[in-house]
Amino acid sequence: VLDTSLRFIEDDGNHYQVLGIAYDLTRVRQLEAMQKDFVSNVSHELKTPVTSLLGFTETLLDGAKDDPDTLKQFLEIMQKDAIRLQQLIQEILQLSHDGKNISYDFQQIKVYPFVQELLHSYSKIIKEKQLSLAVTGNEQITYLTKYELFYPIIKNLIENAIQYAPNGGEITIHFALEKEFTFSVQDNGLGISQKDQERIFERFYRVDKARSRHSGGTGLGLSIVQNYTELLGGHITLDSHLGLGSTFTVYLPIEKIN
Ligand code: ADP
């Protein structure tokens, strides 16, 4: 905001003051544009599964339901659409709060068993892709943090590594508690070009839209990771080389609560 005032005395001896205020609206306009983009992206993403659901219900009602094989096949597709909608809504909600009005409880997390349990929920795809996973870090470490924010960060990073690692790929998860808590996830997958690295944390940004959508990606995961890491007072780095793989590292502060 530019604030200038001009004082002068007229011939009649009276004192006058002219006040001028100019607002720089660049940032406001930028935020408005971002909001518009976000809404149009959200609508577009929601439309796809809804259109598919409507198409399949219509075909079923038109008679396709009478063939048991078609019925099963269509229901399976419709279930996938519904799961996608559920995931989108959950992630949009996760993104929509800035954490300011919510107070999360601190919890002591035993990091090693926490990671093992998380990996367990991906055992099917890990087996299918024949991935080899290594979890390194002191098994005794407990880290005090806000679980509701911490969990989605770790989950999204691990999920991406599993998703973007090639068949037979290797993933290394490392954590340490020193001056701060660090957690890194390294994969030997596709890697991310320098140009894409600059945009990867943007909402809905996907390097390969078709591939990401096919594997259930929404393009929201990393923006949630970045948002939550910052809410916890930390930061995230990415080291990646095309064709070689990526390492995402989250640095989080050590909380002291009395
Ligand atoms: P998505 O739901 O599509 O995975 P994210 O926000 O988690 O969305 O990631 C955004 C994009 O970043 C992905 O679509 C993918 O192109 C790229 N990406 C994320 N993690 C990795 C990774 N470990 N290796 C290669 N590319 C990745």
Rounded Cα–Cα distance for residues 135 and 114 (Å): 11
Beta strands, E only, 64-113 = 106-110
Reported as a single tens digit per residue, the pLDDT across 63-90 is 999 999 999 999 999 999 999 999 999 8
The pairs formed by 77-83 with CB atoms below 8 angstroms and a separation of 24 or more are 77/52, 78/52, 78/53, 81/49, 81/50, 81/52, 81/53, 81/56, 82/49, 82/53
CA distance 164 to 212: 9
Q: Is the CB of 160 under 6 A from ligand 1?
A: yes
186 CB near ligand 1 (under 6 Å): no
pLDDT in tens, 160-198: 999 999 999 999 999 999 999 999 999 999 899 999 999
The number of the ligand 1 atom at minimal distance from the alpha carbon of 217 is: 2
Q: Whose CA is nearest to atom 4 of ligand 1?
A: 217
Residue nearest to atom 19 of ligand 1 (CA): 160
3-state secondary structure of 234: coil
Q: What percent of the chain has pLDDT over 90?
A: 66
Distance in Å, CA 212 to ligand 1 centroid: 7
pLDDT band per the 50, 70, 90 thresholds, residue 18: confident
Q: How far is the CA of 162 from the centre of ligand 1 (A)?
A: 11
Task: Note the ipTM here.
Answer: 0.97
Strand runs labelled E in 31-70: none
pLDDT at position 158: 97
Distance from Cα 167 to the centre of ligand 1, integer Å: 17
The bridge status of strand 181-187 relative to strand 245-252 is antiparallel
Q: How far apart are CA 103 and CA 112, in angstroms?
A: 26
Q: Taken in order 146, 255, 223, 183, is the CA torsion positive or negative?
A: negative
Report d(CA 238, CA 49) in Å as an integer.
32
**Alpha-carbon separation of residue 3 from 24, 26, 29, 219 (angstroms):** 11, 17, 20, 42
| Token output for 3 | 């604030």
pLDDT of residue 34: 79
| Res 114 pLDDT > 80 | yes
Is the CB–ligand 1 distance for residue 219 below 6 Å? yes
Q: Which residue did the predictor score with more confidence, 105 or 165? A: 165
Angle at 95 between CA 123 and CA 103, to 5 degrees: 95
**160 Cα: distance to centroid of ligand 1 (angstroms):** 6
Best residue among 213, 222, 226, 228 to mutate for probing ligand 1, ranked by most atoms within 8 Å of CB: 222
**What's the mean pLDDT when you consider all of the chain?**
90
100 has a pLDDT exceeding 80: no
Is 227's C-beta closer than 6 angstroms to any atom of ligand 1? no
DSSP state of 167: T
**Pocket flag, ligand 1, residue 239 (CB < 6 Å):** no
The string of DSSP codes covering 214-230 is HTT--S-HHHHHHHHHH
Q: How far is the CA of 107 from the centre of ligand 1 (A)?
A: 28
